[in-house]
Chains A and B, each alone.
Chain A
């Protein structure tokens, strides 16, 4: 059983929690590859997906996971809602809970928003990304995908490349990888690496080639233009020349490395098309594993509600 009632961040989970999610996801992966991809486990559960920020992959993945578990699902997005009329977050959620909702899956642009909600309402909260803070299910599916490809996460060297400063994926991945015994490095321009990130126990590198020569896995992050209030690098073209991964660079290494990307990909910026579509890339595996791991997380959280 999970040690927490909510899934707010990887920081709150134990290694045992992560391994329980993985072993449960293994069985759900088999389920989603059956002719009939549905189990009745959550048929008495209602889940609200509350997205105050844009999302394609995560929202679809959660919705599919919920439906594969036979839960009743309602979707809410802030655009075109009463939030625009001045309703507070707590009032919005309490109104949704009045409809007898058991689990809230929430994405919000403010770091800590799901933690705030968890302190004020009884329903189980699952954080689907809170600003630049955490994105726990992305880290779970990323580490699950590494485990699937390499057999284990323990002892592997993983470099996270790109916009570390604005990335909730990076922070959750750092926590998850460290809990599972991996070594972590971050790589990017000085302006996109948080000043004291080494205090999290990660290495810092500003030379992509050196980082790739060190690692077993490279997780290439998207440049988050929507969160950048100032210009952190001269141009996208210059960024891609220094920190973009292309086939030539990949083939010049004297070893095979696994290439990951949380999506959506800016082809030609952080990763070129020939790399995104090559055998080393597990980007589509990550998407498939996203459904299985989210099914596992929802199943285990629902099981705590008896």
Chain B
């Protein structure tokens, strides 16, 4: 008995303490990295922020760093339009895919379909971009020139974030306790009634987390959008007009940027970072309210 207590209690307690501190350390390191990224962005942006006022980044007539004009606002809205459009399409499609895999498909079809979605998640973004550039853009061009447009960006992004939404929603549905479903079945609910009344409400938080994860990816996605959106800096007046996102702006101009132009691109990165962080904080608040 004594050796048992000795073996189980004291070593485990010390392992617990160790794990606790290891995890604290890891979390601290992750936070430190984020802080360092912010600090780095701020430092690299400083040469521009020092003699270009913040409001000029929103009110200059255009984005022409060569002529000392630095309006970021159209790119900010372009990023938001593309991400919002993609989320609007990918969320219902992704949740429907997850419901299909979890409750409707035969086991064989479910596993095939799930593997397909997983494959979709593994394809590198340049491949989506290349497909968009050589297939999707010419198609849209036949509908309404120039083809490279907000619409092309939304469609490519939808494909890219669909697996994220579908797989996290599926995992959330899988985590709904069996007792809930058995209880619902015992009440005589139809399959759709069980899904709507029990499964979806129980998996709500998990699904929302997946959508937020997808939103993060949509906002930060660079290469695919760079290839299909046309990259003209403007506020689009229709789905068929080209846009430029903040991330694409950096990828497009960084290799040849110097001095103020270079620093202005870091301002563009800083804006992107702040945008993602504010979205996360909004999402976190929503989740907290949803729970309470």
Tell me if chain B binds chain A: no
